[in-house]
A and B are shown apart, each in its own frame.
Chain A
């Protein structure tokens, strides 16, 4: 089974803090993704990566950055957290001709 894990299920941070969300997958997938999920909006893609040290902006990259130093690990960074970044963050990985994505359990981030 594909396993995608995220470092925290719940996080509470203060406005202005730098926040790191970590994601690790164990299936040797080249592709990894960060989404945020908000009620009534579905999932929106923040950033994705096709390979180590490569990154591409998704639909809503503003206020976020990412890092991929190793194939299995993809980090999402909030340089200066703001209250409008309170959300559920989902990491996913994928490989293969079907382009199917496998999701982690999610991190519910609250910025106060």
Chain B
């Protein structure tokens, strides 16, 4: 059974600082997704990582995937308050392309002025 672990689960950081959220998973998979959820809102797709070594960047966020280490990272550069949200990673449990995702429990990020 695929297990997906995110850490930290809670993160409070100051504006302007850098930090990384980690997503580890327990079985082989080449596909990983990052989502953002604002309080009371639904999930918004941030990144789709489809192969080993994939790196995607959007603004102050950068996501990468190392399938050999079964690890994805979401790096935040020079955080701003607008990035405050809960971030989820989700892993394709089939490993090679399906809609069957296992989600992590989420990392709640608070960026403090």
Contacts and interface: CB of A to CB of B under 8 A. Distances in A.
Interface residues of B, number: 23
Contacts of A105: 41-42
| Dominant SS among interface residues on chain A | strand
A103 B101 contact: no
Contact of A103 (B31, B42, B50, B92): B42
Contacts of A42: 4, 88, 103-106
B99 A31 contact: yes
Contacts of B103: 42-44
Contacts of B98: 99
Contact of B50 (A48, A92, A98): A98
Interface string A71-112: 000000000000000000010101001111111111000000
A52 interface: no
Nearest to A35: B103
Contacts of A48: 99-100
B33 interface: yes
B104 A101 contact: no
A69 B48 CA distance: 30
Nearest to A32: B99
Contacts, number: 50
A40 B104 CA distance: 9
Given A42-B88, A43-B88, A100 B33 contact: yes
Contacts of B50: 98
Given A33-B99, A48-B99, A102 B45 contact: yes
Interface of A: 31, 33, 40-45, 48, 58, 90, 92, 94, 97-106
The 6 closest A-B pairs by CB, nearest first: A42-B103, A103-B43, A43-B103, A103-B42, A42-B105, A105-B42
Given A43-B88, A45-B100, A99-B98, 20 more contacts: A33-B99, A42-B4, A42-B88, A42-B103, A42-B105, A43-B101, A43-B103, A45-B101, A92-B43, A97-B97, A98-B48, A100-B45, A100-B48, A101-B33, A101-B45, A103-B35, A103-B42, A103-B44, A104-B42, A105-B42
